[in-house]
Amino acid sequence: MMNDPIVEIRNIKKSYQRGSYVIPVLQDINLDIKNGEFMALMGPSGSGKSTLLNLIAGIDKADSGTIRIEDTEITTMSETELALWRASHVGFIFQFYNLIPVLTAYENVELPLHVTSLPRRAWRTHVEMALRIVNLTHRADHYPNQLSGGEQQRVAIARALVTDPTILVADEPTGDLDRTSAEEILDLLERLNAESKMTIIMVTHDPRAAGKAHIISHLDKGILYNADTQAAP
C-alpha cells in the first residue's frame, strides 16, 4: 500500500489559446507519485509547473489524458464533484499565503470545514489540532495583517491540513519569505511528511527548498524529465 502511487498521471496534454494561436504548455506528461512522497517540481519560469500542479489539485482541466488520485479519476469529474473532492482531498499552500484578510487565523483555518461533511461539533478539535501542529495556537484570534509572512504561511498550512487531505500542493511556498521564515516553513513541511506521512507536491525555484524533498522532477518547455531520487531519508 505504502508504495502504490497515490497520484497517477497519464498522457496529460494542456495548451492555452491566446488569440489565434495555441501555446502548448504541457506535452504528454506521465508521472507517478507514491503515497507519503515529498516531491519537488522545478523548472524555468513558464515551463508549466503551476499548470501541472493545478491539474493535480483539480482546479484546472487538461485537454487530454487522465489523472487518478487514490484510485479516483478526477479528469472526468464535473465541476461540482471536483469542488467537493478538493474540499476533502487537497490542501492548498500558495506563494502569497492567500489568507482571507477579514477572518482571524482561527476562522481561516476553520474555513475549509464549511465545505466538508464533518459535523460542526468536531470542528474545534480539528482547528485547534491544526494550529498546534504549526505552533500558532496563541495567535488564533489574530487577523492576517497582524501576522508576519512566515506566520501567515503557517496559518495557511494549518488551513491546508485541517481537512486531513490526501495530498498537499504547494506553489512556491517560500517564494515570498525571508531565509529564516522559509527555513521554518520547509522544516514544517518536512516534519509533516516524516511524521504524518503527508504526500506533498511542491513547486519551487529554490534549490535549497527542493533539497528538502525526496524526489525532484524537472519541467522544461512542457516536458517532464525523469525524477532524480535523492538520498533516501
Residues lying near Mg ion in the complex (CB under 5 A): 50
Tell me how far apart the alpha carbons of residues 195 and 176 are, in angstroms, rounded to a whole number: 26
Among Mg ion, other proteins, ligand ATP, none, the one that 47 touches (CB under a kind-dependent 5 to 8 A) is: ligand ATP
The stretch near other proteins (CB under 8 A) out of 106-114, 128-136, 184-192, 194-202 is 106-114
101 binds other proteins (CB under 8 A): yes
| Least Å from the CB of residue 47 to ligand ATP | 4
Among other proteins, ligand ATP, Mg ion, none, the one that 59 touches (CB under a kind-dependent 5 to 8 A) is: other proteins
| Least Å from the CB of residue 202 to ligand ATP | 12
Give the residue, chosen from 47, 108, 163, 193, that forms a contact with ligand ATP under the rule CB under 6 A.
Answer: 47
19 binds other proteins (CB under 8 A): no
Closest CA to 5 of 201, 223, 212: 201
DSSP 71-121: TEE-TT--HHHHHHHHHHHEEEE-TT----TTS-HHHHHHGGGGTS---GG
Alpha-carbon torsion (171, 51, 68, 215), positive or negative: negative
What is the Cα Rg of the chain in Å? Answer: 17
Eight-class DSSP state of 60: S
The stretch near other proteins (CB under 8 A) out of 76-84, 185-193, 211-219, 224-232 is 76-84
165: number of CA atoms within 13 Å, CB side?
30
Beta bridge partners of 18: 21
Which residue, judged by CB position, is nearest to ligand ATP in the bound state? 50
107 versus 164: smaller Cβ distance to other proteins: 107
The cell for 122 is 468536531
Among other proteins, Mg ion, ligand ATP, none, the one that 98 touches (CB under a kind-dependent 5 to 8 A) is: other proteins
| 16 touches 23 (CB < 8 A) | yes
16 binds ligand ATP (CB under 6 A): yes
153 binds ligand ATP (CB under 6 A): no
50 versus 75: smaller Cβ distance to Mg ion: 50
Give the residue, chosen from 7, 12, 25, 113, that forms a contact with ligand ATP under the rule CB under 6 A.
Answer: 25
- Give the count of residues interacting with other proteins (CB under 8 A): 27
Closest CA to 82 of 67, 94, 64, 96: 67
